[in-house]
């Protein structure tokens, strides 16, 4: 597959993830009487990935997340030479998604940026959890996410169901971790929102790169040990 087509798919898929997932939090979660709440936001994030895995997975592999690309690379499923281009495309797609979301959200009278679905810890954690809790949560949740991805996409896994497993896994991850970090497990998603919020979100962004990458690396190593055979 042509690399430019793969990068285009990663750009669009990550844009969709941010626009759908973060958009549900910014535009719909707290809407009076009809707000979808954090359960709805969790489902929205899962649906963004599920839909784009089926739409674009055959083009780029549907990573939409630097941590996923890194985990697949360390797990022996992704070429090192494509790693940096994929990450750049994902971050740019996320920023584009956040830009579209900002353009929509700012069109409402009395608009205030607020947290803009950014990730944080301490006073910026939805539940007031400290940095260590956030670090552990993001490492463990990303680890689990990559185990699901590596397992569901294995040659011996049931064919055609990977997108469902991955989408449901991301939904579960959000249900567990929104109260702690507002859920990242995706450095591109965290970067896009932090760029618009600035200030505290940018100063805490390091954690939402380091923790998902650590979790992904651990998952890639562990799954290679567990995998029934080489692919």
pLDDT of 1 reads 72
Taking only the tens place, the pLDDT of each residue in 168-227 is 999 999 999 999 999 999 999 999 999 999 999 999 999 999 999 999 999 999 998 988
b/e burial code for range 34-65 (CB count within 10 A of at least 16 → b) = eebebeebbbbbbbbbbbbbeebbebbbbbbb
Sole residue written with tokens 């971050």: 91
For residue 108, the SS3 value is: coil
pLDDT digits (tens, 9 = 90+) for 27-57: 988 776 667 888 999 999 999 999 999 999 9
CATH class for the region spanning 3-226 = mainly alpha
Q: At what angle do helices 37-60 and 162-181 cross, to 10 degrees?
A: 140
pLDDT, average across residues 145-171: 91
pLDDT of residue 156: 83
- Within 51-153, strands assigned E span none
What pLDDT is attached to residue 32? Answer: 65
Q: How far apart are CA 206 and CA 210, in angstroms?
A: 6
Q: Rounded to whole angstroms, how far apart are CA atoms 98 and 92?
A: 10
* Residue whose token pair is 């990450």: 87
| 130 pLDDT tier (thresholds 50, 70, 90) | very high
Asked whether residue 231 carries a pLDDT value surpassing 60, the answer given is no
What's the whole-number mean pLDDT along residues 55-83? 95
* Average pLDDT of span 72-82: 93
CB 3 within 8 A of CB 57: no
**Token pair of 224 as six digits:** 């290679």
Residue whose token pair is 């936001």: 41
Confidence bin at 230 (pLDDT 50/70/90): low
Give 124's DSSP letter: G
Measured CA to CA, the distance from residue 187 to residue 39 in angstroms comes to: 22
Write out the two tokens for 213: 């990458």
Q: Given a cut of 60, is residue 7 above it in pLDDT?
A: yes
Percent of the chain with pLDDT over 90: 82
d(CA 13, CA 64): 6
Whole-number pLDDT of residue 33: 65
d(CA 71, CA 166): 14
Mean pLDDT across the stretch 7-11? 97
pLDDT of residue 166: 96
**Average per-residue pLDDT for the chain:** 93
pLDDT at position 158 is 81
């Amino acid at each position: 597959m042509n690399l430019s087509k793969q990068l285009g798919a990663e750009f669009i898929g990550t844009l969709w993830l941010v626009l759908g997932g973060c958009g549900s939090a910014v535009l719909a979660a707290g809407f009076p009487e009809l707000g979808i709440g954090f359960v709805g936001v969790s489902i929205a994030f899962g649906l963004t990935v599920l839909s784009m895995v089926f739409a674009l997975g055959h083009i780029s592999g549907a990573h939409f997340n630097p941590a996923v690309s890194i985990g697949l690379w360390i797990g022996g499923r992704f070429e090192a030479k494509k790693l940096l281009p994929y990450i750049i495309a994902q971050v740019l797609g996320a920023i584009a998604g956040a830009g579209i979301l900002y353009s929509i959200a700012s069109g409402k009278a009395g608009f205030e940026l607020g947290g803009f679905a950014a990730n944080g810890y301490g006073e910026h954690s939805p539940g007031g959890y400290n940095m260590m809790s956030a670090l552990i949560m993001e490492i463990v949740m990303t680890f689990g996410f990559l185990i699901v991805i590596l397992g569901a996409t294995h040659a011996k896994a049931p064919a055609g169901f990977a997108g469902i497993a991955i989408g449901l896994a991301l939904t579960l991850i959000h249900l567990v971790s929104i109260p702690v970090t507002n859920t990242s497990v995706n450095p591109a998603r965290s970067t896009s929102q932090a760029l618009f919020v600035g200030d505290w979100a940018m100063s805490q962004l390091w954690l939402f790169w380091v923790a998902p990458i650590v979790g992904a690396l651990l998952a890639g190593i562990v799954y290679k040990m567990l995998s029934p055979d080489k692919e």
